[in-house]
Amino acid sequence: MTTATPAPGPVVAVGGVTVAEGSILLVRRGQPPQAGRWTIPGGRVEPNETLAHAVERELLEETGVPVRCGPLVGWVERIEPGFHYVILDFVATPTGDPAAPVAGSDAAACAWVPLADVPGLALVDGVEEFLVVHGILG
């Protein structure tokens, strides 16, 4: 009997749900999985890093928008061949006026997207449902 190699991990990751002036900050993934689809910005938690610092660092790296990490919105788990992520998504509030986002190295693009336009985007699987369940989208 042959058994599949288990995915490494789980890896803890964070995301920042950032809403300002009726728009949400999203990134278009530049790398697999689901490259080219829009999602909540975020990434892996580094060793000895708090969750709040990881949110603030990842959003700055991916979008150029400085934020302050707020309360937990919810979590998701992604298990695919070769990876296992537990993603904790937090409220993230821009510190000052929301800046024009600039995509970092792992993002193909980033933008402030009006909340009403989010359902029409090619989103990473589960993102729209997450935003609806947690009251971000109506």
pTM (two decimals): 0.91
Q: Does pLDDT of 82 surpass 90? A: no
Q: Does domain 17-133 have CATH number 3.50.50.60?
A: no
Q: What is the pLDDT of residue 5?
A: 59
Q: What number is the average pLDDT over the span 85-103?
A: 90
> What is the rounded average pLDDT for all residues in the chain?
92
Looking at residue 3, its pLDDT comes to 57
**pLDDT average, residue stretch 58-63:** 95
d(CA 37, CA 42): 14
Cis peptide before 32 (omega within 30 of 0): no
- State the pLDDT at residue 6: 57
Q: How far is CA 90 from CA 3, 76, 132, in A?
A: 36, 12, 15
Q: 11-17 and 83-94: which strand pairing? A: parallel
Q: How confident is the model at residue 94 (pLDDT cuts 50, 70, 90)?
A: very high
**List of residues 6+ apart from 119 with CB closer than 8 A:** 128, 137
Helix segments in the chain, DSSP class H: 51-63, 127-133
What is the average pLDDT across 77-101? 90
pLDDT at 103: 93
Residue 7: pLDDT over 60: no
The number of beta carbons lying within 10 Å of the beta carbon of residue 35 is: 11
Instruction: Tell me the pLDDT band of 83, cut-offs 50, 70 and 90.
Output: confident
- In our burial notation (b when 16+ CB lie closer than 10 A, e otherwise), range 98-118 reads beebebbeebeebbbbeeeeb
